[in-house]
Amino acid sequence: MKTLTVSTLALMLSANIAAAEGELFLYNWTDYTAPDLIEKFEAETGISVTLDTYDSNETLLAKLQSGATGYDIVVPSHNFVQIFVSEGLLQEISASELTGYENISADFASPSWDEGNVYTIPWQWGTTSFTVNTDVFGGDINTYDILFQPPAELEGKIGMFRSADEVISMAQLSLGLGLCSEDPNEMQQVLDLLLAQKDDVKTYSSDGILERLASGDVAVHQNWNGYSIRAREENPAMQYAFPKEGVITWADNIAVPVGAPNYDNAIKFVEFLMQPENIAIQSNFAGYSNGITGSADLMNDDLKAAGELSPPEGTPLVFSQTCSPAAVELQNRVWTALLQ
């Protein structure tokens, strides 16, 4: 017991001296950081990396807003970057002056959410749509009608995310409306569509998607492209849809929070990630694309061949947005009315 106490105290103290040299505290979504990537970085720089994990952009935001410090690298999604910047939570890293900046691909250099890459560099990007079990339904899956006007085979076998924003966005695209609408008439249409769909929905849940698909509990599920790859690897009938109405796209970004104890090491990590051979390790692990030119050749063959990563020509990519408080308020009302 005594030795346990002593070692615990030592642990608590060591957690407290985060500012010591040669360390890097990484705060990222779970299962979203390749262990090999960290090992390579540690081997090349001698910096020891500690990884903590969170579950949502909101959690990250709440923690940074409260003044929690100790993290050197955080990974906000593109539609949250502006919020973090306007709340004064991110440090400038002036990525354009760093080694390797020229490697960022044209699509992700100076993106709309961070012009000039003042605060961020791209980490991974992907799309959100849905996965269909083509053993159950063999027709054309590239339309939101699969979700909202389901064919008889799929009735009652639909899984939706448990997230107002992601469910409503798809309903809006299906109706041909814009995202983040502040128009009550449009939102009434969205609510009507979702209420009509509710009987055919088996569950609203963002957790355990692959399990429900694999077990046959649902035949369609809202999904991210990276996870759809994993579903297909287990069952080739699991196909990822690219709805012709437009596919929702997102990008996660590497940023350095204000108060980072190891700013220099964080910059080393940013430069490290702009090297194609490094970020390719991450893509191979997570199954998502990245924004660095030259890394595609270094990906493993499965990933190169994965249709989930390349939307067909002509399918519009719709980046999700930071909605205004008024739009969020309308979304809340729709969501509560749907699930009351």
Partner 1 sequence: MTRSRDIRWLPGFSWVTLFFFVFLYAPLIILVVFSFNASRSATVWAGFSFEWYTKAFANDDIQRAATNSVIIAIFATIAATTIATMAALTLSRNKRVKGKPVFGGVLIFPLMIPEIVTAVATLTFFAAIGLSLGLGNIIIAHTVFCIPFAYLPIRARLDGMDESLEAAAQDLYASKFTTLRLITLPLLMPGIVSGAMLAFIISLDDFIITLMVAEAGSTTLPIYIYSLVRIGITPEVNAVSTVLLGFSVIVVTLSYVIGKKNKT
Partner 2 sequence: MSSIAEKLRVYTGLMPAVFVIGVFMIVPIMIIFVYSFLVAGDFGGVKPKFSTDAYVQLLFQKNLFDVSEFNPAYLIIAFRSLWIAVVTVLGCLLLGFPVAYYIASQPEDRRNLFLLLITIPFWTNLLVRTYCWILVLRDTGLINGALINMGLIDEPLTLLYTEGAVALGLIYTYVPFMVLPIYAALERLDVRLIEASRDLYANRWVTLRHVVVPLAMPGMIAGSILVFIPALGAFIAPDLLGGGKNLMLGSLVQLQFSSARNWPFGAALSMVIMAVVLLCLYAYARNVRKNGGGVQH
**Residue numbers at the binding site for partner 1 (CB under 8 A):** 4, 8, 11-16, 18, 25, 27, 29-31, 35, 50-55, 59, 62-63, 66-71, 206-211, 214-215, 227, 230, 234
x/- string (CB under 8 A) for partner 2, residues 128-167? ----------------------------------xxxx--
Whose CA is closest to 176, among 244, 79, 251, 128? 244
Q: For 162-219, give the secondary structure using H, E and C.
A: CCHHHHHHHHHHHCCCCCCCCCHHHHHHHHHHHHHHHCCEEEECCCCHHHHHHHCCCC
Contact call for residues 300 and 230 (beta carbons, < 8 A) = no
CB of 78 to partner 1, least distance (A): 18
Whose CA is closest to 247, among 311, 166, 306? 311
What residue 264 binds from partner 1, partner 2, none (CB within 5 to 8 A, per partner kind)? none
The span from the CA of 22 to the CA of 140, in Å, is: 54
- Name the one residue in this structure whose structure tokens are 């008024």: 326
Contact call for residues 158 and 150 (beta carbons, < 8 A) = yes
CB of 114 to partner 2, least distance (A): 16
What residue 3 binds from partner 2, partner 1, none (CB within 5 to 8 A, per partner kind)? none
Nearer Cβ to partner 1 (68/326): 68
Q: At what angle do helices 263-273 and 276-286 cross, to 10 degrees?
A: 80
Q: Is 23 in the site for partner 2 (CB under 8 A)?
A: no
Among residues 14, 94, 112, 336, which is the contact residue for partner 2, using CB under 8 A?
336
How many residues sit in the footprint of partner 2 (CB under 8 A)?
41
The span from the CA of 11 to the CA of 74, in Å, is: 23
Residues 48 to 77: which contact partner 2 by CB under 8 A? 56, 58-59, 61-62, 65
Among residues 8, 48, 110, 332, which is the contact residue for partner 2, using CB under 8 A?
332
Contact call for residues 312 and 246 (beta carbons, < 8 A) = no
Among residues 14, 68, 198, 300, which is the contact residue for partner 2, using CB under 8 A?
198
CB of 332 to partner 2, least distance (A): 5
Nearer Cβ to partner 2 (14/59): 59
216: left (phi over 0), alpha (psi -120 to 50) or beta: left
Among residues 73, 191, 279, 318, which is the contact residue for partner 2, using CB under 8 A?
191
Nearer Cβ to partner 1 (155/234): 234
Choose the stretch contacting partner 2; rule: CB under 8 A; options: 141-149, 172-180, 185-193, 257-265. 185-193
CA distances from 68 to 27, 61, 64, 132 (A): 12, 10, 5, 41
Whose CA is closest to 83, among 328, 307, 324, 340? 324
What residue 31 binds from partner 2, partner 1, none (CB within 5 to 8 A, per partner kind)? partner 1
CB of 139 to partner 1, least distance (A): 26
The single-letter code of the amino acid at 325 is P
Contact call for residues 147 and 133 (beta carbons, < 8 A) = no
Nearer Cβ to partner 1 (53/99): 53
The span from the CA of 225 to the CA of 181, in Å, is: 25
Q: Where do contacts with partner 2 occur on this chain (CB under 8 A)?
A: 56, 58-59, 61-62, 65, 83, 86-87, 162-165, 184, 187-188, 191, 198, 201-205, 207-208, 211, 215-217, 325, 328-330, 332-337, 339-340
